[in-house]
Amino acid sequence: MSTPVPEVLVAAYETPPEQAALKHQWIHQASWRELVERRGLRVFERGEGIYIYDVHGRRYIDAIAGLLVVNIGHGRAEIAEVAAEQLRKLAYVSAASYTSVPAAELAARIAELTPGDLERVFFCSGGSEAVETAIKIAKQVQLLRGFPKRYKIIARRGGYHGATYGAMSLTSNRAELEPPFGPFMPGVFHIPTVDHYRNDFGLNGPEGDLMAARYLEQEIKFQGPETVAAFIGEPISTAAGCHVPSPEYWHEVRRICDRYGVLLIMDEVINGWGRTGKLFAAEHFGVTPDIMTMAKGLSSGYAPIAAAVARPSVYGEFQQQERRLAHLLTFGGHAVACAIALKNIEIMLRERLVENAAAMGDYLLAGMKRLVETHPSAGDARGKGLMCALDLVKDKDTKERWLKDSPFSIRLGELLHERGVLVRILGDLLLAPPLVITREQVDELLNIVDDSLTQVEHEFAMR
Ligand SMILES: Cc1ncc(COP(=O)(O)O)c(C=O)c1O
């Protein structure tokens, strides 16, 4: 039986939506103590550009763009109009056997804009579903190619690919997830990832990256190439700390996958749609995956939509052998979500937001590197485009982390919230605002981070 919320605590929140949320909503990741004792509940009402406003009218800089989602910024009336128009015309057709005008148009647009010959689009509703779809495509296509034993997937340590069972199995924080969710999907193996600050091999730059890539070859040989279906990685991993691989890394990974008949899945759920200063992060490296997943920036969060996109070499097997993918998601290719995504892409290209992400990303990262010079807790700053991480350390020599649930990280989060900035601190302080951010707004954000770091370091006797 759950403990009833004491009225005195509910009463501390004044508005009906806050009280309703406190009593009835299961907010995905917020701890009860955070909500109740630290008054961490925030109910938002409206947004505009990089700012969002809570039910008390307090303004916050959304420095993580929702969850690296709202690329075109909040409060776009154009999107509301397109959504209303599509809702009036047609909201839904069966995803099993039919499609709609906006879904067909969006598939064509995605085929046109994704790198290389990626051209066949399977729609779903969120990033985890896109990853599940990619895994199933990879396993089934290996069977169609005549390799029934290729069921294994190799992923990377530090990676995040979602919360549904298959996607969670690829995610590497297993120690946290084993109880209560293990055993996971069988046949998943994790190899070292790109890390330019705490490198697994004690090597920095391209040399360390190449070691990480060659580890893939070793793992494939160790498992037996005839058992491996696919390798999955984010082109630039957010969860693993925004380290930017050298192009040699991805070229080597592509070569190894081709050599052993292993499919390459690039997970662009966060990276895709402009976040890293290119439309897709794969473009930084000149590598085309066999399957690409995408979600968040595809609609900038104005509707839940995602996709797994495949090359003809993958879809062709299903075509030639007259086989269906054993997979169906009721809300895949939802007509309103597709109409919204089309408008979102139009806005992104018209306003040159990808170019802005590249320019403002450089400016933000330069400011974060200055924080590393002046703050004892700022160990390293890195990233690409508007996806940057500040590594929070206890000691710059040992590089020992302030972990996500450490009192230091919690206090820093509180101070940033008090000063009107929404962030996510997972060992690193992640800064990833909407792609519409201006130079002045980057300065505003950096000043608040600077002040908050100064105060928390003072409170923890670091300065
Ligand atoms: C790289 C990557 N893949 C997949 C997912 C899962 O997406 P979702 O939360 O929409 O299911 C995420 C979520 O952050 C992600 O970062």
Mark which of 299, 323, 350 sits at the end of a domain: 350
Which of 91-100, 171-180, 325-334, 445-454 is the least confident region?
A: 171-180
pLDDT at 8: 67
Asked if residue 98 is part of any domain, the answer here is: yes
Which pLDDT band holds residue 219 (cuts at 50, 70, 90)?
A: very high
Asked if residue 330 is part of any domain, the answer here is: yes
Asked if residue 40 is part of any domain, the answer here is: no
Distance 160 CA to ligand 1 centre (A): 7
Output DSSP code: residue 310: E
Asked if residue 2 is part of any domain, the answer here is: no
Same domain, 194 and 219: yes
What is the CA angle 451-457-461, rounded to 5? 145
φ, ψ of residue 377 to 5 degrees: the values are -90, -5
CATH number, domain containing residue 51: 3.90.1150.10
Asked if residue 34 is part of any domain, the answer here is: no
Same domain, 62 and 116: no
Q: Which mutation among 28, 67, 160, 236 tests ligand 1's pocket best, with the greatest number of atoms within 8 A of CB? A: 160
Mark which of 350, 372, 402 sits at the end of a domain: 350
Mark which of 303, 334, 350 sits at the end of a domain: 350
pLDDT at 4: 65
Same domain, 237 and 381: no
Same domain, 203 and 151: yes
Q: What is the dihedral of CA 109, 111, 113, 118, to 10 degrees?
A: 170
CATH number, domain containing residue 165: 3.40.640.10
Domains: count for the chain:
2
pLDDT in tens, 192-213: 999 999 999 999 889 999 999 9
pLDDT over threshold 80, residue 48: yes
Which pLDDT band holds residue 32 (cuts at 50, 70, 90)?
A: confident
pLDDT at 33: 81
Same domain, 315 and 368: no
pLDDT in tens, 270-294: 999 999 999 999 999 999 999 999 9
Distance 163 CA to ligand 1 centre (A): 8
pLDDT in tens, 55-67: 999 999 999 999 9
Same domain, 334 and 322: yes
Same domain, 166 and 288: yes
Query: Which atom number of ligand 1 is nearest to the Cα of residue 293?
Result: 3
Same domain, 122 and 55: no
pLDDT at 37: 76
Alpha carbons 216 and 201: distance in angstroms, whole number:
14
Same domain, 338 and 217: yes
Q: Kindly state the helix (H) or strand (E) to which residue 41 belongs, with its residue range.
A: none
Which pLDDT band holds residue 368 (cuts at 50, 70, 90)?
A: very high
Alpha carbons 145 and 134: distance in angstroms, whole number:
16
Alpha carbons 263 and 369: distance in angstroms, whole number:
37
Enclosing domain of residue 318? 77-350
Q: Which of 286, 194, 192, 174 is nearest to 242 (CA)?
A: 194
Mean pLDDT across the chain, nearest whole number? Answer: 95
Helix (H, G, I), strand (E, B) or coil at 457: helix
Q: Which mutation among 269, 275, 296, 305 tests ligand 1's pocket best, with the greatest number of atoms within 8 A of CB? A: 269
* % of the chain at pLDDT higher than 90: 91
Asked if residue 22 is part of any domain, the answer here is: no
pLDDT in tens, 145-169: 999 999 999 999 999 999 999 999 9
Asked if residue 31 is part of any domain, the answer here is: no
Which pLDDT band holds residue 426 (cuts at 50, 70, 90)?
A: confident
pLDDT over threshold 60, residue 314: yes
pTM value is 0.97
CB count, 10 Å around CB of 256? 21
Same domain, 252 and 361: no
pLDDT in tens, 7-22: 766 777 889 999 999 9
Ligand 1 pocket list (CB less than 6 A): 67, 126-128, 131, 160-162, 234, 238, 267, 269-270, 295
pLDDT at 389: 98
Distance 9 CA to ligand 1 centre (A): 33
pLDDT over threshold 90, residue 77: yes
Asked if residue 109 is part of any domain, the answer here is: yes
Same domain, 344 and 400: no
Helix (H, G, I), strand (E, B) or coil at 54: strand
Same domain, 204 and 103: yes
